[in-house]
Amino acid sequence: MRALIPMRALVDGALQTGIAVLVDGARIVDLVPADALPPDAVPESLPGTLVPGFIDTQVNGGGGVLFNDAPTVAGIAAIGAAHRRFGTTGFLPTLISDDLDVIRRAVAAVDAAIEAGVPGVLGIHIEGPFLNVDRKGIHSAEKIRPLDEDGMAALTGLKRGRTLITLAPERVSPEQIESLVAAGAVVSAGHTNASYIQAKAAVAAGMRGVTHLFNAMSPLGSREPGMVGASLDSPELTCGLIVDGHHVSPATLRLALRCKPSSGFMLVTDAMPSVGSVASEFLLQGRRITVKDGACRSDDGTLAGSHLDMAAAVRNAMSMLGLDIATAVELASASPAALIGLARTRGRIAAGLLADLVLLDDAGKVIATWIGGS
């Protein structure tokens, strides 16, 4: 049994000193005073702050690999390895709007990756193609389509792990949302022009997430609160935030965080293949995307995902949004774990949970990452 003894550990929402985290195999078995270790514990002193591993529910790519182009076990493993360097211990490889056969291949690849024990893969995020073309962002208009029986079957084909589905609630029926939820999927609103009433009807049907709040959705207005208003007015919804200084003004995000408890928000990267890669450009469904000044844009200036990693997102949440480390890490760990139904196994440093851990230096950079204790 290992005894991890960091300078500080983030436990129960506070930084604590003098604590040893006992790890046996893949799990945390106990937290004890560092000066009262059990006889069979092997101490390991760690120079930094130990926090729960980060969970990223929106990862389009990394390490030079785009999931849409490589819906394979090898592609998923390469993406996970790239993001692990930045503290991501759990992730959902994310497929943007594509044909149904690509969705089926991606789902099969995630099933196979989980079965093979690829570190960190928790399921899949299928972002589209059941979106509103008026809010398509970088998604291809040719791929966007109505949700029918074939689409429902493709979305619910995963046998292992969690399925997160981004759709436009006004483009589907409440009954379809209910069916997806009944099949075990987590439904999130994104790329949507939904009215407040339409969004609230989707919440009543079981929708629980909001994909990249403020981006590609109907804004908050004086008489029509839109998708943004419904997101901030619905305690049931967990809103994903891209905190990179490009997608949303930090002032706007600070205002949003005042609307409901921090547990109603989570950090996401929306990362593209450039994360963990030296490449400054890549292709996205035939379009050239260039990385410049920390942002990914197409030739016409449209944002195309991000060049953000989770450790940077946590640092930005502190520096741009004024959050303390406990809240910033909560948004990167406990909140996404809760949204996808994994709060009992991940997202905190506590006895019985998986030893998914990150060691940070004083600047918030990653020193080491453990997934399942290794």
Q: Which residue intervals of 117-222 are DSSP H helices? A: 149-155, 174-182, 196-205
Same domain? 111 vs 82: yes
Encode pLDDT of 54-102 as tens digits.
999 999 999 999 999 999 999 999 999 999 999 999 999 999 999 999 9
Is the residue at 90 inside a domain? yes
Is the residue at 86 inside a domain? yes
Same domain? 44 vs 59: no
Cα distance between residue 101 and residue 107, in whole Å? 10
Is the residue at 342 inside a domain? yes
| Averaged pLDDT in 10-residue chunks for the chain of 374 residues | 98 96 98 96 97 98 98 98 98 98 98 98 98 97 97 98 98 98 98 98 98 98 98 98 98 98 98 95 95 95 97 98 98 98 98 98 98 97
Same domain? 10 vs 136: no
Same domain? 335 vs 222: yes
pLDDT of residue 279: 87
Pairing mode, if any, of strands 19-24 and 2-11? antiparallel
Same domain? 93 vs 44: no
Is the residue at 351 inside a domain? no
Question: Per the residue annotation, which of 111, 270, 309, 356 is the catalytic one?
Answer: 270
Residue 305 is labelled as binding a ligand: yes
pLDDT of residue 31: 98
Tokens of 146: 């109505």
Within 13 Å of residue 347, how many CA atoms lie on the same side as its CB? 23
Cα distance between residue 256 and residue 328, in whole Å? 15
Residue 219, number of CB atoms within 10 A of its CB: 11
pLDDT of residue 100: 98
Residue 83 is labelled as binding a ligand: no
Work out how many domains the chain is built from and give that number: 2
Residue 247 is labelled as binding a ligand: yes
Residue 303 is labelled as binding a ligand: yes
Give the residue numbers spanning the domain of 28: 2-51+358-370
Is the residue at 229 inside a domain? yes
Residue 77 is labelled as binding a ligand: no
pLDDT of residue 368: 98
Angle at 285 (CA atoms; ends 61, 303), nearest 5 degrees: 65
Same domain? 24 vs 138: no
Same domain? 114 vs 235: yes
Same domain? 260 vs 321: yes
Domain of 17, CATH number, reads 2.30.40.10
Cα distance between residue 243 and residue 266, in whole Å? 10
Same domain? 215 vs 306: yes
Residue 191 is labelled as binding a ligand: yes
Same domain? 219 vs 315: yes
Cα distance between residue 232 and residue 292, in whole Å? 31
Is 35 a catalytic site residue? no
Short-list 92, 273, 108, CA closest to 166:
92
Is pTM beyond 0.95? Reply is yes
Cα distance between residue 205 and residue 267, in whole Å? 25
Residue 223 is labelled as binding a ligand: yes
Is the residue at 352 inside a domain? no
Is the residue at 353 inside a domain? no
Same domain? 137 vs 16: no
Residue 138 is labelled as binding a ligand: yes
Same domain? 20 vs 135: no
Is the residue at 108 inside a domain? yes
Domain of 326, CATH number, reads 3.20.20.140
